[in-house]
Amino acid sequence: MTALLSIRDLSVRYRRDGVEATALKGVSLDVEAGERLAIIGESGSGKSTLALAIAGLLAGDAKTGGRIEWFLPASHPRLGRDIGFVFQDPSSSLDPVMPVGKQIAEVARTHLELTWPEAYAKAKTLLERVRLPDPDSALRAYPHQLSGGQKQRVAIAAAIAAAPKLLIADEATSALDTIVQAEIVALIRRLVAEDGMTLLFISHDIALAATLADRIAVLRHGELVELGETGQILDAPRHAYTRALLDAHLGLDAKPLLDRQGTPA
Amino acid sequence: MSVLAVSNLAKRYHRGGKPFAAVDDVSFEIGPAETLALAGPSGSGKSTIARLVLRLIEPDAGRIDFEDSDFLALSGAALRARRARIQMVFQDPLAAFNPRATVARVLDDPLRIHGIASRAERPRRIAALLERVGLDAGLAAHAIHEISGGQRQRVAIARAIATRPSLIVLDEAVSALDVSVRGQILELLLDLQRRERIAYLFISHDLGVIRAVAHRVIILDAGRIAESGDARAVVTNPQSAIGKALVAATPKLIRNRP
Ligand SMILES: Nc1ncnc2c1ncn2[C@@H]1O[C@H](COP(=O)(O)OP(=O)(O)OP(=O)(O)O)[C@@H](O)[C@H]1O
Ligand SMILES: Nc1ncnc2c1ncn2[C@@H]1O[C@H](COP(=O)(O)OP(=O)(O)OP(=O)(O)O)[C@@H](O)[C@H]1O
Ligand SMILES: [Mg+2]
Ligand SMILES: [Mg+2]
């Protein structure tokens, strides 16, 4: 495998109310080209900070140390063209007063140097690829006319419009119900495979991450505590914290907390 | 005897000018110290049922018996008195509290409003409540916005039990918590149920959580009951199409431990 990017000793500090807080410290990892890498960890562990740092989206007052090296023809990857980003809340990334077809077409036009008619044709193809029912009328729909799952499909279409090498999904399914979440995960899996994209899948849910990822990185308090193949992380976690996360998972086969008489465990 | 009995409950809303049933002919009972879970996809009517049971909204049809009396017939002082016996905990405790209020203030309110303890007695009661939910008494002086999400949810539970309720409605009460904190809060709820025989109407989209803590489950689809039964049995072997779809969509953590 060849690396798509290499992160060395990355640290990020935020300033809030005059106090500095460390969000990431000394994180080093390589993202292999074409792999599906999950970043997991609890709230505040630094997952989004890592995603934003990779995408070059960190707020201006964040202090960073270390480096991120890309192995791409373009030395400075551009968001939209080289990196697609899908956020938890699709409403925050979609413009409420612009038809969704135009929003997707705009990404294609900007980064692929297409004419408007070409960009609209591309947008329609993308809406078909993300399986939005009736793509022709969906092109003209506004975000508020779509369900949460449909909006997330549109956000994904926009994120992959310029055929980026890297797709980052930051809790992209966390606001959706279980059934819609499974559909979106299946969609991401298919698109990543079809386009040979590299996937950075960020989630607080270790079980969800495991359904999609080749490798899993575990963050805790801003530090990378473990990184390994999904099978190794699940079956032979090296770090006590990873084990604790696995044990805290309440799966459909876990021992119920409720002990009931007369019901065999 | 049941704590709560709901029969043929219905609530209609309008969408695009047309009426639709958010809750449609729903009936169930909850016994003392029992946990009944409500599951179902987004928009299936779970929160609407919670709001109806709490009388935050009024139904279009149906009957609600709480502690063997007609809950919908109550008003004024009788309703306020009965409300002390049915409490709620929601997903986001920050939204439920004034974030600048202190923990002590949040717990003082129900004790005062429901006349449970005299002014002189209340600080001691508050300390006891905090201890009951596993929080340090020193936390009383902190503002709600200064404490962690897990601590806030413990405060919400402390407030709910302050009035000695027989039923607590929990709407996605553990959904926003980290898994380690979630486990502790679920253990706390089970412990309170065992000791104080509180019944729970437990709403969650997570079948793993439901299977871990609920006795029975109702699976809703578009406002109607698609199936119901023993929580473990339903999750292990769902019969309805929506039940099967929910189980199939739940991520499985497949560990091949040596
Ligand atoms: N813009 C910011 N200014 C100040 N502090 C921040 C900012 N963004 C994040 N932080 C802090 O940095 C730490 C890491 O936050 P981050 O958002 O990366 O965590 P996360 O793992 O994505 O959490 P979550 O699961 O809640 O999304 C936290 O302590 C957070 O409060
Ligand atoms: N005040 C209201 N006015 C109009 N429609 C409403 C109102 N409240 C709820 N609804 C609709 O009623 C249906 C049931 O909503 P409800 O909030 O009970 O679902 P839910 O099962 O709790 O979903 P979720 O899992 O997303 O919380 C939905 O279609 C919702 O849009
Ligand atoms: Mg985050
Ligand atoms: Mg709800």
- Does position B13 have pLDDT exceeding 70, yes or no? yes
Mean per-residue pLDDT, A240-254? 93
Joined together, the tokens standing for residue B196 give 């104080």
pLDDT for res A259: 67
pLDDT for res B2: 95
CB A10 within 8 A of CB A51: no
Q: Is A148 on the interface with B (CB under 8 A)?
A: yes
pLDDT for res B15: 83
Q: Report how far residue A101's alpha carbon sits from residue A132's, in angstroms, rounded to the nearest whole number.
A: 12
Q: Is B206 on the interface with A (CB under 8 A)?
A: yes
Nearest Cα neighbor of A197 from A237, A159, A147 is A159
Q: With cut-offs at 50, 70 and 90, classify the pLDDT of residue A263.
A: very low
Question: What's the gap in Å between A85 CA and the centre of ligand 1?
Answer: 17
Using DSSP, state whether B123 is helix, strand or coil.
helix
Q: Do B207 and A43 touch (CB under 8 A)?
A: no
| pLDDT tens track for B205-214 | 999 999 999 9
Nearest Cα neighbor of A65 from A77, A79, A49 is A49
CB B87 within 8 A of CB B167: yes
For ligand 1, is residue A16 a contact (CB within 6 Å)? yes
| pLDDT tens track for A110-124 | 999 999 999 999 999
Q: Pick the residue whose CA is nearest to atom 11 on ligand 2.
A: B22
- Does position A264 have pLDDT exceeding 50, yes or no? no
Structural domains of chain B, with CATH: 1-85+169-258 (3.40.50.300), 98-164 (no CATH)
| pLDDT tens track for B36-55 | 999 999 999 999 999 999 99
Q: Report how far residue B126's alpha carbon sits from residue B155's, in angstroms, rounded to the nearest whole number.
A: 10
Joined together, the tokens standing for residue A122 give 């591309």
pLDDT for res B257: 60
**pTM (predicted TM-score):** 0.93
Q: What percent of chain A has pLDDT over 70?
A: 97
pLDDT for res A184: 96
Question: What's the gap in Å between B8 CA and the centre of ligand 2?
Answer: 18
Mean per-residue pLDDT, B196-200? 97
Report the residue from B183, B252, B257 with minimal CB separation from A251. B252
Q: Is A264 on the interface with B (CB under 8 A)?
A: no
Q: Do B179 and A256 touch (CB under 8 A)?
A: no
B contact test, residue of A258, A259, A260 with most B CBs within 10 A: A258
Alpha-carbon gap: B131 to the closest alpha carbon of chain A (Å): 22
Q: Report how far residue A143's alpha carbon sits from residue A146's, in angstroms, rounded to the nearest whole number.
A: 5
Among residues 228-247 of chain A, which lie with CB inside 8 Å of chain B?
231, 234-236, 244-246
Atom of ligand 2 nearest to the CA of B48: 18
**Mutual angle of helices A116-129 and A100-112, in 10-degree steps:** 120
Q: Which helix (H) or strand (E) holds B25?
A: strand B18-30
Q: Could you tell me the strand order of the sheet in which A36-40 lies? A: A83-86, A166-170, A198-203, A36-40, A215-220, A223-229
| pLDDT tens track for B118-153 | 999 999 999 999 999 999 999 999 999 889 888 999
- The answer for residues whose C-beta is within 8 angstroms of residue A217's C-beta and 6 or more apart is A29, A37, A38, A39, A40, A224, A226, A227
Q: Give how far Cα B78 sits from Cα of A116, A176, B63, B84, B118, Å.
A: 66, 40, 18, 10, 21
pLDDT for res A75: 72
pLDDT for res A133: 86
Alpha-carbon gap: B184 to the closest alpha carbon of chain A (Å): 10
Q: Pick the residue whose CA is nearest to atom 5 on ligand 2.
A: B13
| pLDDT tens track for A47-64 | 999 999 999 999 888 999
Lowest pLDDT segment from A48-57, A97-106, A174-183, B248-257:
B248-257
Q: With cut-offs at 50, 70 and 90, classify the pLDDT of residue B234.
A: very high
Is residue A92 left, alpha or beta, with left meaning phi > 0 and alpha meaning psi from -120 to 50? alpha
Report the residue from A234, A244, A257 with minimal CB separation from B180. A244
Report the residue from A42, A183, A207 with minimal CB separation from B251. A207
Nearest Cα neighbor of A63 from A77, A73, A49 is A49
- Does position A262 have pLDDT exceeding 80, yes or no? no
Q: Do B209 and A250 touch (CB under 8 A)?
A: yes
Residue type for position B154: R
Nearest Cα neighbor of A241 from A214, A223, A215 is A223
- The answer for residues whose C-beta is within 8 angstroms of residue B195's C-beta and 6 or more apart is none
Q: Is A43 on the interface with B (CB under 8 A)?
A: yes
Q: Which ligand sits nearest to residue A58's alpha carbon? A: 1
Question: What's the gap in Å between B80 CA and the centre of ligand 3?
Answer: 41
